[in-house]
Amino acid sequence: MAADVPLILEFIRALAEYEKLGPEAIATEADLRATLFGERRYAEVVLADCDGQPAGFALFFHNYSTFLGKPGIFLEDLFVNPAFRKHGVGGALLRHLAQLTVERHCGRLEWSALNWNQLAIDFYLRLGATPMSGWHNYRLTGESLGRVAAAQPGAPQSV
């Protein structure tokens, strides 16, 4: 619900601090309202509570596998409030996303983990997740994104 936006932003900022990326978390409540609950929704959020207290969240969106010919779900963020870790909250959130993946006839559930976050990596491995060796994540943002977007010579034609 849009009323949950302040809590969602609180979780996003807590995750950014945990990942040592605090300054990169520049999203605002207005950004989240527009992109999560606006006319075009780019992602979805699941909130977890434990004994009536906000315990964690998962933010995800659909992607697509050309090899499978099916949509997938990409888990962008998973965060459990430190006070509720080791209480099954993270497992419950991933189980819920796995159920959505199956219900929506998606081919896979995927996510990334920081290479130093051994606690998370061990958790994912215990679930049976497979690390994707041989793959690297890449990103265009800021000035690089603008430069590529503005490139003219030899630019492919839109379909």
Which residues are catalytically annotated? 124
For residues 14 and 37, the answer to whether their CB atoms sit within 8 Å is: no
For residues 40 and 33, the answer to whether their CB atoms sit within 8 Å is: no
* DSSP SS3 for 128: coil
Torsion, CA 42, CA 20, CA 50, CA 77, rounded to 10: 20
Q: Length of the chain, please?
A: 159
> What distance in Å separates the CA atoms of residue 35 and residue 145, rounded to the nearest whole number?
20
Phi, psi for residue 26 in degrees, rounded to 5: -105, 5
